[in-house]
Amino acid sequence: MTTARRPLIGITGRRWTVPRVGGFPDNFAGVEIDLHVANFPECVAAAGGLPVELTRSADITDVVSRMDAVVLTGGADVDPSVYGDIAHPKTEGTERARDEFEIAVLRAAMDQGKPVLAICRGLQLVNVALGGTLIQHLEPTDGEHHAAWDLPVTQLVHAITTVDGSLARSVYGAEWRVNSLHHQACAQLGHGVVATGHAPDGVVECIEVSGRAVFAVQWHPELVAAQPDPAFTWLVQATRLT
């Protein structure tokens, strides 16, 4: 009996300096570290994939060509200059170099027909990479409690409903309950971007790209207790169709 070859799935992340991460001697202060939240590779592995880190030191076209799929992970706000806006006072922690790296990863993956799962910031990145814009700040009192920084990250905060016939519907069914750890959301949708899941207050929670194996969710499936999450299962299965 042969074991099916596991799809190789590249995971993006941050490049932070040592003082921001901590735990190193003081003379490492100028050194940088590539990192991502470990739940992402854990979920990829649990779904049957073989997770690897995508570093911005790699030639992006080349490294994406070796991948079977990629995950665009969560993190800080996308720099509003990427979508031609000025920063709202609550837009924080922008990392323009990361934005450019992940936009290049997305473009390479789309050019090469590789499936993409994008999460939280990743969803916002996909939208702006394709020409869309963002709502830069949702107050905790606006609609659903989207910026639920006061609750456990595993806590399911609001429902989403999916659009009939969409990828979101096939992955999550008509309704799903989600955690919510974001203060930004899609405004104008990018070229080919379709909103296929919404919170009860209308905030976009799932997007897809017409004719592409690109699926993005505004919540954090990698942090919820029930695993493997259907989005990661979709990503692994999508590599077998390309």
CA distances from 144 to 14, 91, 148, 158, 210 (A): 28, 19, 9, 7, 28
Specify the residue, 68 or 205, whose C-beta has the smaller distance to Mn ion. 205
Interface segment toward Mn ion; rule CB under 5 A; list 8-16, 17-25, 132-140, 173-181: 173-181
| Residue 120 bears catalytic tag | yes
Nearer to Mn ion, 70 or 206 (CB): 206
- Residues touching Mn ion: how many (CB under 5 A)? 2
Q: Does 146 bind Mn ion (CB under 5 A)?
A: yes
Q: Which is nearer to Mn ion, 67 or 160 (CB)?
A: 160
Whether 8 contacts 66, CB under 8 Å? yes
220 catalytic residue (yes or no): yes
Residues 6 or more apart from 154 whose CB is under 8 A from it? Answer: 179, 223, 224, 225
Backbone φ and ψ of 234, nearest 5°? -60, -45
User: How many distinct helices (H) and strands (E) make up the chain?
Assistant: 7, 13
Least distance between Mn ion and beta carbon 73 (Å): 17
The DSSP code sequence of 93-127 is ---HHHHHHHHHHHHHHHHTT--EEEETHHHHHHH
Q: Is the peptide bond prior to 25 cis by the omega test (within 30 degrees of 0)?
A: no
Nearer Cβ to Mn ion (43/120): 120
Candidates 215, 222, 211, 141; CA nearest to 179 is 222
Cα–Cα distance for residue pair 48/40, rounded to 1 Å: 13
CA distance 169 to 65: 29
Q: Which stretch binds Mn ion (CB under 5 A): 8-16, 24-32, 46-54, 140-148?
A: 140-148
**Residue tagged active-site, from 43, 102, 120, 146:** 120
Q: Is 186 a catalytic residue?
A: no
Contact region with Mn ion (CB under 5 A), list: 87-95, 96-104, 178-186, 234-242: 178-186
Smallest distance, Å, CB 187 to Mn ion?
15
- From 180, 184, 196, 239, residue interacting with Mn ion (rule: CB under 5 A): 180
Only one of the segments 13-21, 55-63, 102-110, 146-154 lies at the binding site for Mn ion (rule: CB under 5 A); that segment is 146-154
Site string for Mn ion, 42-81 (x = CB under 5 A): ----------------------------------------
Q: Which stretches of the chain bind Mn ion, using CB under 5 A?
A: 146, 180
Catalytic center residues: 120, 220, 222
